[in-house]
């Protein structure tokens, strides 16, 4: 099943983006009060193909006094993508999701050949899939143009930190630099806890379990993305994100912050 998830992920994130001039942007924090900052974000319209079972609609981004909800119903879902590109730094936010199986809610970085001809697909993920239970799905994805798809996935049980994604507003993120990616969460006592660390290969000729080949390390400036979507119940969709039973869903985001190195 793990290999199947990796195969599906290759299909999932082929996201058509508008080509723009790439200038690394600076610090921001959007508290998302009464909606997202339109200077920072653009709402996505359109689809991604299988195994997505929905198309993105700006109407499914619902503002409130303290944050935004990315809503979801049969055939419709929601996505925000940053207008600017960001380099090494911390990407963090606070969110809470519902329990609708067959859905995904996420905070991630993404860039590929859609942004610059010849660029590799580079992605760092935080994802929540109710079909997997009370876990955060972490991943690093790399694919050169016409090259093999590679990913390094790990699911981390949140119970050990006294947290439940369907009951608690979680604050979490990842810290990305030239040689290390560290995922972290704030536990039930408000203390930052490292939940996973990946390292760029150090060139000693041995790959440890937490090392990534140097060629696959994400180095290009990237967009920051948020989305909430459901699967299409195809054979591939059953693996990622699981069977979807035609129910509505929601993912609430309280803030998103980027801190450059």
User: Which sequence spans correspond to the domains of the chain?
Assistant: 2-260
Query: In this structure, how many other beta carbons lie within 10 angstroms of the beta carbon of residue 44?
Result: 23
pLDDT of 100 over the 70 cut: yes
- Check residue 11 and give its pLDDT: 44
What are residue 24's phi and psi, to 5 degrees?
A: -60, 130
* pLDDT per residue as tens digits for the range 192-236: 999 999 999 988 888 899 999 999 999 999 999 999 999 999 998
Minimal CA–CA distance to 238: which of 247, 248, 230?
230
- Check residue 12 and give its pLDDT: 44
Beta bridge mates, 249: 72
Fold classification of 2-260 (topology level): Jelly Rolls (2.60.120)
**What CA–CA distance (Å, rounded) separates 174 from 234?**
31
Query: In this structure, how many other beta carbons lie within 10 angstroms of the beta carbon of residue 20?
Result: 12
* pLDDT per residue as tens digits for the range 30-83: 999 999 999 999 999 999 999 999 999 999 999 999 999 999 999 999 999 999
- Check residue 74 and give its pLDDT: 98
**What CA–CA distance (Å, rounded) separates 78 from 251?**
10
Q: Which comes out higher in pLDDT, residue 156 or 6?
A: 156
Q: What is the pTM of this model?
A: 0.91
- Check residue 255 and give its pLDDT: 98
């Amino acid at each position: 099943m793990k290999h199947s998830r990796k195969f599906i992920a290759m299909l999932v994130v082929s996201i058509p983006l508008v080509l723009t001039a790439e200038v690394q942007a600076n610090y921001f924090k959007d508290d998302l009060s009464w909606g997202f900052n339109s200077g920072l974000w653009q709402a996505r319209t359109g689809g991604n193909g299988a195994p997505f079972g929905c198309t993105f609609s700006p109407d499914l981004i619902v503002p409130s006094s303290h944050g935004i909800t990315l809503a979801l119903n049969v055939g419709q879902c929601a996505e925000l993508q940053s207008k600017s590109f960001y380099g090494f730094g911390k990407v963090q936010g606070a969110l809470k999701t519902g329990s609708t199986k067959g859905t995904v809610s996420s905070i991630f970085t993404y860039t590929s050949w859609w942004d610059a001809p010849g660029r590799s697909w580079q992605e760092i993920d935080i994802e929540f899939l109710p079909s997997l239970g009370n876990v955060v799905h972490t991943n690093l994805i790399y694919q050169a143009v016409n090259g093999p798809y590679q990913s390094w996935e790990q699911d981390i049980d949140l119970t050990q930190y006294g947290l439940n994604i369907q009951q608690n507003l979680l604050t979490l993120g990842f810290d990305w630099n030239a040689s290390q990616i560290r995922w972290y969460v704030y536990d039930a006592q408000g203390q930052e806890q490292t939940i996973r660390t990946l390292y760029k290969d150090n060139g000693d000729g041995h790959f440890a379990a937490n090392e990534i080949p140097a060629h696959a390390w994400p180095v290009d400036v990237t967009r920051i993305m948020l989305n909430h979507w459901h699967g299409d119940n195809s054979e591939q969709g059953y693996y990622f994100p699981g069977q979807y039973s035609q129910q509505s869903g929601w993912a609430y985001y309280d803030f998103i912050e980027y801190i450059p190195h």
